[in-house]
Amino acid sequence: MSDAHASHDDSIHPEPTSFLRKYVFSTDHKVIAKQFIWLGLAFLAVGGTMAMMIRWQLAHTGEPFPVIGHAIFSNSAGIISPAAYTSLFTMHGTIMIFFAITPIMIGGFGNFCIPLMIGARDMVFPKLNMFSFWMMFISSAILVASFFMPMGAAAAGWTTYPTLSTVMGTPGWGQTLWVVSIYFAGGSTVMGAVNYITTVIVLRAPGMGYFKMPLTVWGLWLTAILNALFVPVLAAGMILLFLDRVVGTHFFLAGALVKSGGDPILYQHLFWIFGHPEVYILILPGWGVVSDLLSFFSRKPAYGYKVTALAMSAVCVLSAVVYGHHMFTTGLSPLLGQGFMLLTMFISVPAEIFFLNWLHTLWKGKIRLTVPMLFSLGLVFVFGLGGLTGLYLATISTDLYLHDTYFVVGHFHLTMAAAVFLGAFASIYFWFPKMFGKMMNSTLGKLHFWFSFVPINFVFCGMLYVGFGGMQRRLYNPSIYQTFQHLESVNKFISYSAFVMAFGGIFFIINFFYSLAKGEKAPSNPWEVGTLEWTHTTSPPQHHNFDVIPTVLHGPHEFNHPHLTDKDWLGQAEVLPALGAQEAK
Partner 1 sequence: MRKAAVAILLAPLAAHATLLGGRPVDVSLDGHRGDWLFDVTTISVTILFLIMVAIMLGAVLFHREKPDDQRKFGEHDHGTSRSHLLFTAFISLTIFFGVDGVLLASSYNSLHEAFWNYPTAAANTVEVEVMAQQWGWNFRYSGPDHKFGTADDVVRFNELAIPKDAPVTVKLRSKDVIHSFYLPNFRTKQDAIPGYTTKLWFQATETGNYEIGCAQHCGVNHYRMRGELHIKERHDFDEWLTEATADSARRYDPNDKEAQWGWDWES
* Residue whose C-alpha is closest to residue 42's, from 123, 121, 108: 108
Decide if 477 contacts 394 (C-beta within 8 A).
no
357 vs 525, beta carbon nearer partner 1: 357
- Quick check: 68 binds partner 1 (CB under 8 A)? no
Among 67, 256, 548, 584, binds partner 1 (CB under 8 A): 256
Q: What's the alpha-carbon Rg for the chain, to the nearest Å?
A: 24
Residues from 433 through 462 that contact partner 1 (CB under 8 A):
none
Q: What is the DSSP letter of 74?
A: G
Q: Using CB under 8 A, count the residues that bind partner 1.
A: 106
Residue 400 touching partner 1 (CB under 8 A): yes
CA distance 39 to 19: 19
Only one of the segments 26-34, 202-210, 338-346, 497-505 lies at the binding site for partner 1 (rule: CB under 8 A); that segment is 338-346
- Smallest gap from residue 152 Cβ to partner 1 (A): 11
Beta strands in 155-209 (DSSP E): none
Nearer to partner 1, 68 or 391 (CB): 391
The sign one gets for the Cα dihedral 517, 518, 524, 528 is negative
CB of 172 to partner 1, least distance (A): 12
- Residues numbered 341 to 360 that lie near partner 1 (CB under 8 A) are 341-342, 345, 348-349, 352-353, 355-357, 359-360
CA dihedral 441, 446, 447, 451 (to 10 degrees): 140
Counting Cα atoms < 13 Å in the Cβ hemisphere of 61 gives 11
Amino acid, single-letter form, for residue 510:
I
Q: What minimum distance in Å lies between the beta carbon of 238 and partner 1?
A: 18
Q: 449 and 378 in contact (C-beta within 8 Å)?
A: yes
Closer CB to partner 1, 108 or 378, in the complex: 378
- Which of 264, 286, 423, 530 forms a contact with partner 1 (CB under 8 A)? 264
Q: Taking CB under 8 A as the criterion, which residues in 289-318 touch partner 1?
A: 298-307
CA 271 – CA 464 distance, rounded (Å): 25
| Contacting partner 1 within 474-503 (CB under 8 A) | 474-478, 480-483, 486-487, 490
Per CB under 8 A, contacts with partner 1 among 360-399 are 360-369, 377, 380-381, 384-385, 388-389, 391-392, 394-398
Rounded least distance, CB 397 to partner 1, Å? 4
Query: Which of positions 88-147 make contact with partner 1 (CB under 8 A)?
Result: none
* 3 state SS of 475: coil
Contact with partner 1 (CB under 8 A) among 265, 321, 516, 576: 265
Q: Which of 32, 30, 156 is nearest to 94 (CA)?
A: 156
Residues of this chain, 11-30, that bind partner 1 according to CB under 8 A: none
Residue 521 burial (CB < 10 Å; 0-12/13-18/19+)? exposed
Q: Which is nearer to partner 1, 191 or 270 (CB)?
A: 270
CB of 299 to partner 1, least distance (A): 6
Phi-psi sector, 149: left (phi>0), alpha (psi -120 to 50), beta: beta
Measured from the CB atom, is 262 or 277 closer to partner 1?
262
Tell me the C-alpha distance between 311 and 349, whole Å: 9
Q: Which stretch binds partner 1 (CB under 8 A): 62-70, 252-260, 427-435, 443-451?
A: 252-260
